[in-house]
Structure 1
Amino acid sequence: MKKQVLAAIFIAILLGAEVACSSTEKRNKNQRIPDTVTLTKETLKDKIKGGWAGKTIGCTYGGPVEFLYNGTMIQDYVPIIWNKDRVKWYYDNFPGLYDDIYVNLTFVEVFERLGLEAPADSFAIAFAHAPYPLWHANQAARYNILQGLRPPESGHWLNNPHADDIDFQIEADFAGLMSPGMPNTASQITDKTGHIMNHGDGWYGGVFVAALYSLAFISDDMEFVVKEALKTIPPESSFYQCVNDAISWYEEFPDDWKRNWFECEKKWSSEIGCPDGVFVPFNIDAKINSAYVAIGLLYGKKDFFKTIDIAARCGQDSDCNAATVAGVLGTMIGYSQIPEKWKESLYEIEDRDFEYTDISLNDIYEIGFKHALLVVEQQEGKTDGDQVIINCQQPTAVAYEKSFEGHFPIEKKPVNQTISEGFSVNFEGIGIVLKGSVQCADANYIAQVEMYIDNVLAETAELPVSSSNARRVDLFWQYQLPMGEHTLTFKWLNPRSDAQVTATEAIIYSNNPSR
């Protein structure tokens, strides 16, 4: 009899769980973006403040472990330091940590000067001439722009070997924060700004992040926000498939973020484009880092610490991924609801300008609020006294793009030679990226080098010294060659005794993956 009672209780519990689960699934399935949402101005501003404040906090939290754990998660026993003075410490000692914020602010400042219709070239010129140092896709794009190549060509993979890198993903927050409830408007803004430095999956990283912010204004269901934001990405793209896998594995393993992380690593951690990430654990590719963002947001379950901690412990670009999830969650819950333990770290610096800018957090709170009101009205919403009525948008996918299609890295070839008469690099494949540097006692020196493929002039390159903000990230690259044996040769047009152009290694691409 006792066993029968226990069995009945067990069955009732299971049925109750099934009913609860079915109810939750039904609620999520039936949930949709409303036609309009009304927020008070105070609430809207609080959410914008939460976005920028959260991003600053998350960036600070992940700062000590940025790219220290590549291809591995950060174990639970590894401490990540936090105290109320952490943000001030970075402001005082390493303000360059906040590069993903001050690049955002470059685009914000262009909108502030020129209005919502500012053209793509204006963003590109401001970005290229900004005083801060850049890396990867950003620096490759800056070089391209300074050499006369404009977006979208400046970010296209044929002109930028870093086109799929994370760069725009970490500096697209502004587009979502000025487009509350309007993810397609955010996508249009990213089209003008994200193609400065990225293409394909690299651009999609920014589109996805901007949509996350945009939708966080109008829903407090994080799973819904993540799934809806992904609808802005073309399903045929590898970016969509990677992040969608992370969502599916969350549903399969809802209490085990580490299992999700392992599945992502097994399927999606192979780097193709970035010459610094091919054949090594370092991975700055947008799609895998966006998967970490999705993992942090989903498994964090709106707990501020859990959200940023999980995103940081996924490794790779830990500061930027923690910054993104904290910004999205900060937008969803608002500045007023960020726990005091985290928010108190900002009080001493909210009036201090970010490095390389004339904009502080308190400034961007106000500017961001002003821009959001302008976009709301531009998109046929309105303000009515203290009320802001947002004309919401159902997310639609942006155009399909793919970088490095048909190109497979098959070899990393050591070179380690200075360019001189008779120097050459032989390779078999359809593409090559040659890494290297330019050194000279004169910081203003620019090496002029003719580069030949199979005795045909491919390019005459201007190569500033490698310490310059105008530097070229990679010495040379060429894709879409006929499959076969090729020879890369050089002619240095303006050599001098105190200068060196050094080739360090070559990444070789084939039309088939190596076995």
Structure 2
Amino acid sequence: MVDGPELADRVLGGWLGRIAGNMLGKPVERGDVWTRDRIDRYLRRADALPLTDYLPEPADDEDARLLRPEWRSCVRGRVHGSCRDDDVDYAILGLDLLETHGFGFTTEQVGDLWLLRLPYLQTFTAERAAYRNLTAGLKPPLTATYDNPYQEWIGALIRADVHGWTCPGLPRRAASLARRDAVLSHTGNGVYGAMFAAALVSAAFTSPTVRHALDEALAAVPAGSRLARTVRRVASLHATRMSWEDTLATMTRETAGLGWIHTVPNIAVLTAGLLYGDGDFTRTIALTVRGGLDTDSNGATAGSVAGVLTGASAIPPQWTEPLQDTVRSAVFGFDGARISDLARRTVRLVGAHGLPGGNRPDGEPAGAPPSTLPG
């Protein structure tokens, strides 16, 4: 168990890593346009391979036209604090959830906080469907299943990091908390992705290697799920010393048809970025973003895991200094917050709650039946 200054450094590393990884991937987020090949062509034209900093400015008008409109605040030399993005909004909202309701929060309380703190038009796919269902008076688990074709997309996964940051070295507990959050909007592999991400971040606090953290996280999700099989498949290809490029080409074929925002193909990109990055912060987020698909979400999660592994003090300054310790957010009351303050508040949750009295070690309220997954 890590504690004291080391815990504070690791938690801050998670926050900074999440924000930096998100910023790196944001300009090329559209996975049906920005394929791996197109991203690397962009980088070669700008003489930016190997990628060791935020994306360069586009080398021509065609590339500029295809980037997300926010690119002007996300490329190297133009970053002055973080851009607003849902991948960071949900980490902030999760922190507010735990500060408000503690580790005994209910799925209904997650929904109530969305309605209170999060603007509807800053939600997307499964989260927007769940939000709409909440306003219509539906309760979980119907909020996830009614008129929601996005139930296994990546949205729940991007909400999970705070459960890992506040449960350092307790991956199963982190996964249980993430599940309770995720079932508001997701089912199946969408929920398993959130559980896996939370467990992975938690395991990164105490695991000696990336592979060990991945194995710990795998133990927290159903072994027969497609998500778990995909993680094991990437790990097996990595173990044969197949190249990163060939591993991702193999996984693209094996996950064909699921779409670029589905959790399963994105978990393949994330797992490959972590394994081939091998604990190096820059290499990890660079490979993950170059892997394509949901680049900002994958970059954010990879950055969180790598930041926890290394600690904030070991993240190279080209990633952290441009952030100016400031985060933009659509969450009411948090726009302009200091990243360092968010990290301090996260550490206080670890110290204040730990294994809170009245809660079981799996994170469920004492006396409550185990949560079940809808669908």
Aligned counterparts of 1:143 and 1:219: Cα–Cα separation in 2: 40
CA RMSD of aligned residues (A): 2.5
Partner residue, 1:365: 343
Partner residue, 2:6: 43
Aligned counterparts of 1:104 and 1:152: Cα–Cα separation in 2: 22
Structure showing greater radius of gyration is: 1
Q: Does 1:301 align with 2:302?
A: no
Letter in 2 for 1:197: S
| Aligned with 1:67 (options 30, 36, 60) | 30
Aligned-residue offset at 1:68: 4.7
With over 3 angstroms needed to count, the CA separation of the structure-2 counterparts of 1:400 and 1:314, relative to structure 1, is farther
Aligned-residue offset at 1:374: 3.0
SS of corresponding position for 1:343: helix
Partner residue, 1:286: 263
Give TM-score scaled by structure 2 length: 0.82
Partner residue, 2:97: 110
SS of corresponding position for 2:351: helix
Structure having the larger proportion of residues in helix: 2
Aligned counterparts of 2:107 and 2:331: Cα–Cα separation in 1: 22
Contact 2:158 2:297 in 1 (8 A): yes
Aligned-residue offset at 1:287: 1.2
Partner residue, 1:172: 160
| Aligned with 1:78 (options 34, 42, 48) | 42
Query: Which structure carries more relative contact order (alpha carbon 8 Å, separation 6+)?
Result: 2
Q: Does 1:313 align with 2:302?
A: no
SS of corresponding position for 2:36: coil
1:52-86 residue CA offsets vs partner (Å, 9 max, x unmatched): 01000000011111115558314534223276644
Aligned counterparts of 1:186 and 1:301: Cα–Cα separation in 2: 23
Aligned-residue offset at 1:252: 1.8
Aligned-residue offset at 1:261: 0.4
Contact 1:237 1:400 in 2 (8 A): no
1:238-265 residue CA offsets vs partner (Å, 9 max, x unmatched): 11111211111111235x1111101111
* Residues 334-483 of structure 1: pairs in structure 2 closer than 5 A: 334-346=311-323, 348=324, 350-359=325-334, 360=337, 361-378=339-356
Letter in 2 for 1:336: S
Runs of 4+ in 1 over 4 A off after TM superposition: 68-71, 82-86, 398-403
With over 3 angstroms needed to count, the CA separation of the structure-2 counterparts of 1:243 and 1:40, relative to structure 1, is closer
Aligned counterparts of 2:97 and 2:371: Cα–Cα separation in 1: 25
Aligned counterparts of 1:109 and 1:173: Cα–Cα separation in 2: 13
Partner residue, 2:52: none
Contact 2:94 2:159 in 1 (8 A): no
Aligned counterparts of 1:364 and 1:45: Cα–Cα separation in 2: 11
Q: Does 1:144 align with 2:121?
A: no
With over 3 angstroms needed to count, the CA separation of the structure-2 counterparts of 1:329 and 1:143, relative to structure 1, is same
Aligned counterparts of 1:355 and 1:400: Cα–Cα separation in 2: 31
Aligned counterparts of 1:103 and 1:338: Cα–Cα separation in 2: 23
1:344-366 residue CA offsets vs partner (Å, 9 max, x unmatched): 122x2x24553334332122111
Contact 1:253 1:260 in 2 (8 A): no
Structure 2: state its 5+ residue gaps: 44-54, 57-73, 364-369
| Aligned with 1:153 (options 142, 145, 170) | 142
Aligned-residue offset at 1:392: 11
Contact 2:12 2:312 in 1 (8 A): yes
Letter in 2 for 1:243: V
Contact 2:281 2:310 in 1 (8 A): no
With over 3 angstroms needed to count, the CA separation of the structure-2 counterparts of 1:124 and 1:51, relative to structure 1, is same
With over 3 angstroms needed to count, the CA separation of the structure-2 counterparts of 1:399 and 1:266, relative to structure 1, is farther
SS of corresponding position for 1:167: coil
Aligned counterparts of 1:216 and 1:358: Cα–Cα separation in 2: 30
With over 3 angstroms needed to count, the CA separation of the structure-2 counterparts of 1:245 and 1:402, relative to structure 1, is farther
| Aligned with 1:57 (options 20, 30, 36) | 20
1:310-352 residue CA offsets vs partner (Å, 9 max, x unmatched): 1111111011101110110101111111112212122x2x245
Contact 1:253 1:259 in 2 (8 A): no
Aligned length: 333
Partner residue, 1:484: none
Partner residue, 1:497: none
Aligned counterparts of 1:267 and 1:401: Cα–Cα separation in 2: 26
Aligned counterparts of 2:330 and 2:287: Cα–Cα separation in 1: 28
Structure having the larger proportion of residues in strand: 1
Aligned counterparts of 1:84 and 1:369: Cα–Cα separation in 2: 30
Aligned-residue offset at 1:159: 4.2
Contact 1:47 1:217 in 2 (8 A): yes
Partner residue, 1:513: none
Aligned-residue offset at 1:218: 0.5
Aligned counterparts of 1:241 and 1:119: Cα–Cα separation in 2: 30
With over 3 angstroms needed to count, the CA separation of the structure-2 counterparts of 1:71 and 1:86, relative to structure 1, is closer
Aligned counterparts of 2:7 and 2:33: Cα–Cα separation in 1: 38
With over 3 angstroms needed to count, the CA separation of the structure-2 counterparts of 1:41 and 1:237, relative to structure 1, is same
Aligned counterparts of 1:265 and 1:64: Cα–Cα separation in 2: 22
